[in-house]
């Protein structure tokens, strides 16, 4: 192809101008934010650094909303909890396996697609920000939110959250990394829990996943925690927020408070580096309502304005808070293309993605050869004419999931009826997805005789197991935000009366004593003790496997 020399010269000149940052180069997110900031009034700046309250219609059923400024083209910034899927009732969002399961895959590419998949649904439902990026370490394995996090290894957690963040933000949704820092338990988190951590331990363990996530993932949002760290509220610590996060790690996004009780002083929090208070309120003196519980005060509305006018919070600090908010909106693509509510979730695509994560995350903890056998118990044969008894764990109905902010509502109702219905901020009732492992096992083993016992009668289960070629016992453990586990034993009817009707360890022990081949499938959010481990042939850790947990477990069992 012949190209005229003047055209070649023009193309080269354009390339040089672009490379040198010529006049025709598009403005950066920082430049756009600065230009818009210069047009804002004091009241408009204040409006952008706190939520508008809890449970507002504009929040779309999510966790909250920062009201936009229409005259400047700034959209509402809506956010939703999204640890393992969008936590909005009635949304039909996909319940993915829990983040602890994702971490067990050790697959950064899977973490990227996990973040992208959940973000696609967030945006479809109208949310500009996802609050799902938990990376607190499993240093206290009884922590009620362990299932929301990425395990005990800071390097693994950091790399996985970085990829999840990149996946989220690839869909024009602002990603969050939380809870910064040292928030490793639920006990007393709203009542002065103080994480006392020496510098080396803080750096090498508690901060490392955040550092990797921030540097490699560049999230738009970092959420600071409820607890104190070395005597200071995490959200009021200049060392954590400014010295380490912003100055040392170069974080350019928003530091957002956790939702309630994370802020105790306007001036201290703002000057320490907090950029946004959640859930916020229309009136600081009234506060925000949380499920019928009225918080007495908030701090970043009228109080912050008064502090800026009095000079106790410099105008430069407020401008930095707003600049970070605007820059994040531009950099994420939310400013140019705000999400619109009312879209429909592609449930079929979500199911495929969720099942892939589940199958890659299930962990084989044990696989031994039974007495008199010649091969390990797993994988089971899909073609053999055999008798299989499936026992316990509501395996006939579905799979369990965690509670609190990390919950994802069931699309079509709970598969299991709660034994002791609970109410309040954090219900005691587990969510069960209608994804039956029993049905999936039957589908994969058409030549087998497959029966089910609910596990409530250990003697009957043992009798059935003794007569079968294979006994598969399902065991479950429920966790939730707001409460730590008393211990790591599989819960029985006394420890968790809302979700358990019998002694699970006793059931497994009875079955293992007589079964020819025994398999235990665990659906848990953290570690459990296994006093029966030496007497069973195989153990699978399925975690909280999500909406396609039944087929995923069956596929792994049969190889």
Q: What is the DSSP string of 224-286?
A: EPSSEETTEEGGG-HIIIIIIIIIIS---SEEEE-SSSS---HHHHHHHT--BBSSB-S-TTT
Pairing of strands 449-453, 431-433: unpaired
Strand partners, 449: 387
SS3 track for 386-437: CEEEEECCCCCCCEEECEHHHCCCCCCCCCCCCCCCCCCCCCCCCEEECCCH
Q: Are 146 and 138 in contact (CB under 8 A)?
A: yes
Token pair 């579905």 in the structure block, residue: 398
CA distance linking residue 363 with residue 545, whole number of Å:
11
258 has catalytic annotation: yes
Q: Are 469 and 516 in contact (CB under 8 A)?
A: yes
Q: Write the CA distances from 199 to 203, 204, 205, 211, integer angstroms.
A: 6, 9, 10, 15
Q: Are 94 and 345 in contact (CB under 8 A)?
A: yes
Query: 483 CB contacts (<8 Å, ≥6 apart)?
Result: 144, 186, 426
CA distance linking residue 304 with residue 507, whole number of Å:
58
Residue 473 is inside which H or E element, if any?
A: strand 470-476
Among the listed residues 325, 272, 351, the one whose alpha carbon sits nearest the alpha carbon of residue 36: 325
Query: 56 CB contacts (<8 Å, ≥6 apart)?
Result: 64, 65
Residue 451 is inside which H or E element, if any?
A: strand 449-453
CA distance linking residue 19 with residue 343, whole number of Å:
40
The residue from 23, 81, 216, 258 that is catalytic is 258
Query: 299 CB contacts (<8 Å, ≥6 apart)?
Result: 263, 264, 265, 266, 269, 277, 284
Q: Are 526 and 485 in contact (CB under 8 A)?
A: yes
- In three-state secondary structure terms, 109 is helix
Alpha helices by DSSP H, 333-382: 347-361
CA distance linking residue 77 with residue 79, whole number of Å:
7
Within 10 Å of residue 272's Cβ, how many Cβ atoms? 23
DSSP state letter for 195? E
CA distance linking residue 212 with residue 179, whole number of Å:
14
Q: Please give the positions annotated as active site.
A: 258
């Amino acid at each position: 192809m012949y190209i005229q020399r003047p055209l070649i010269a023009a193309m080269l000149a354009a390339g040089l101008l672009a490379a040198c940052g010529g006049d025709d180069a598009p403005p950066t997110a920082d430049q756009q934010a600065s230009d818009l900031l210069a047009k804002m009034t004091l009241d408009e700046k204040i409006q952008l650094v706190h939520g508008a309250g809890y449970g507002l219609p504009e929040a779309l059923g999510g966790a909250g909303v920062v009201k936009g400024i229409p005259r400047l083209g700034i959209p509402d910034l809506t956010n939703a909890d999204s640890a393992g899927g969008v936590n909005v009732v009635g949304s039909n969002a996909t319940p993915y396996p829990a983040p602890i399961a994702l971490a067990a895959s050790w697959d950064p590419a899977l973490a990227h697609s996990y973040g992208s998949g959940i973000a696609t649904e967030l945006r479809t439902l109208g949310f500009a920000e996802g609050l799902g990026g938990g990376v607190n370490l499993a240093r206290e394995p009884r922590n009620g939110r362990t299932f929301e996090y990425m395990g005990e290894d800071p390097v693994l957690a950091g790399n996985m959250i970085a990829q999840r963040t990149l996946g989220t933000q690839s869909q024009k949704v602002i990603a969050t990394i939380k809870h910064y820092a040292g928030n490793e338990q639920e006990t007393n988190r709203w009542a002065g829990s103080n994480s006392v951590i020496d510098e080396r331990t803080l750096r090498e363990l508690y901060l490392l996943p955040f550092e990797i996530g921030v540097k490699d993932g560049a999230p738009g949002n970092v959420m600071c925690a409820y607890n104190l760290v070395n005597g200071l509220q995490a959200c009021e610590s200049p060392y954590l927020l400014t010295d380490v996060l912003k100055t040392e790690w170069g974080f350019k996004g928003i530091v957002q408070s956790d939702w309630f009780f994370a802020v105790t002083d306007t001036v201290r929090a703002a000057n320490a580096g907090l950029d946004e208070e959640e859930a916020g309120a229309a009136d600081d003196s009234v506060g925000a309502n949380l499920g019928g519980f009225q918080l007495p005060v908030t701090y970043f509305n009228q109080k912050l304005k008064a502090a800026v006018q009095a000079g106790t919070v410099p105008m430069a600090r407020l401008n930095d808070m707003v600049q970070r908010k605007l820059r994040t909106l531009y950099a994420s693509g939310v400013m140019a293309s705000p999400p619109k509510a009312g879209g429909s979730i592609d449930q079929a695509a979500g199911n495929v993605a969720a099942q892939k994560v589940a199958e890659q995350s299930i962990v084989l903890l044990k696989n031994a050869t039974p007495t008199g056998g010649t091969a390990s118990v797993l994988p089971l044969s899909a073609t053999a004419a055999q008798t299989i008894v499936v026992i316990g764990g509501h395996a006939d109905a579905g799979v369990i999931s965690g509670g609190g902010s990390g919950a994802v509502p069931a699309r079509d109702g709970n598969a299991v009826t709660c034994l002791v219905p609970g109410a309040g901020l954090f219900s005691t009732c587990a969510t069960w997805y209608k994804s039956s492992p029993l049905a999936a096992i039957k589908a994969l083993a058409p030549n087998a005789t497959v029966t089910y016992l609910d596990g409530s009668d250990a003697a009957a289960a043992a009798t059935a197991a003794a007569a079968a070629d294979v006994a598969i016992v399902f065991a479950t453990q429920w966790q939730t935000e707001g409460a730590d586990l008393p211990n790591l034993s599989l819960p029985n009817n006394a420890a968790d009366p809302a979700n358990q009707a019998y002694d699970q360890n006793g059931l497994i022990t009875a079955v293992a004593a007589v079964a020819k081949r025994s398999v235990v499938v665990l659906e848990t959010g953290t570690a459990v003790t296994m006093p029966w481990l030496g007497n069973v042939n195989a153990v699978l850790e399925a975690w909280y496997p999500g909406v396609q947990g039944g087929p995923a477990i069956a596929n792994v069992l049969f190889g």
